[in-house]
Copies of this chain bind each other. A is one copy, B any other.
Amino acid sequence: MSASTKLSTAVKALSYLAASAPDPKTSTEIAEQIGVNASKLRKILSYLVKSKIVISTQGITGGFTLNKSPDQIHLQEIYCSVEERKAFHMDFTGINGKSVSQTKKLNNFFLQLFADIQVDIEDRMRLITLKSVIEQIKS
């Protein structure tokens, strides 16, 4: 599951939880609503539980509920919850060329560049709340 798919799946689930708050909803019901496999969805929701965006309760009356109001949830924390890997990431394959020193320096250069880009991306996502997303897809 790619980063973007995980993110959009999480947002879909959160939007459904927001619309049906404060009743807890089961993974089965959410999965049917947004059209994904319930087991995979539970995996994604477990990340959101760990980052305290949603609360899960087990047992026969259990399910998932939002832990914050939609205007206090922004895309950045959703994204970082469900995707530990960065959008840009270096896969450091072995350095075995003749210019080892320059290769290492270039790797560091790109590491820094990608980190800077990642900050930009997250800054942008931090400005977008779940509430604003819900309003945009309603209209």
A residues lining the B interface (CB < 8 Å)? 2-5, 7-8, 11-12, 15-16, 32-36, 87-91, 93-99, 102-103, 105-107, 109-110, 113-114, 116-117, 120-121, 124, 128, 133, 136-137
Q: Given A32-B98, A113-B128, A120-B121, 11 other A-B contacts at CB below 8 A?
A: A4-B110, A5-B93, A7-B110, A12-B103, A15-B106, A34-B98, A102-B137, A109-B137, A116-B124, A117-B120, A120-B124
Dominant secondary structure at the A interface: helix
Minimum CB–CB distance from A59 to chain B (whole Å) comes to: 25
In the complex the two chains form, is B99's CB within 8 Å of A16's CB? yes
Instruction: From known contacts A33-B98, A97-B35, A124-B116, infer whether A5 and B91 are also in contact, taking CB-CB under 8 Å.
Output: yes
CA distance A6 to B106 in the complex (A): 13
Chain B residues within an 8 Å CB radius of A88? 3-4, 87
Choose among B90, B94, B128 the residue that contacts A5 (Cβ–Cβ < 8 A): B90
